[in-house]
Amino acid sequence: MIDLHTHTIFSDGELIPSELIRRFEVIGYSSVALTDHADSSNLDFIVPRIKKVAEVLNQSQSVKVLPGVELTHLAPNMMSSMVKKARELGAVIVVVHGESIVEPVMHGTNRAAIEAEADILAHPGLITLEEARLAADKGVFLEISGRAGHSLSNGHVAKCAVKAGAKLILNSDAHAPHDLMNKSFAQKVVEGAGLKKDSLEELLVNSRSLIRRIIMP
Residue 52's CATH number: 3.20.20.140
Total structural domains within the chain: 1
Q: What is the CA radius of gyration of the chain?
A: 16
Q: Which residues of the chain have pLDDT under 50?
A: none
pLDDT digits (tens, 9 = 90+) for 114-161: 999 999 999 999 999 999 999 999 999 999 999 999 999 999 999 999
**Overall pTM surpassing 0.85 (yes/no):** yes
3-state secondary structure of 97: strand
pLDDT for the residue numbered 217: 55
> Domain of 191?
2-215
C-alpha–C-alpha distance, residues 86 and 88, integer Å: 5
pLDDT for the residue numbered 215: 81
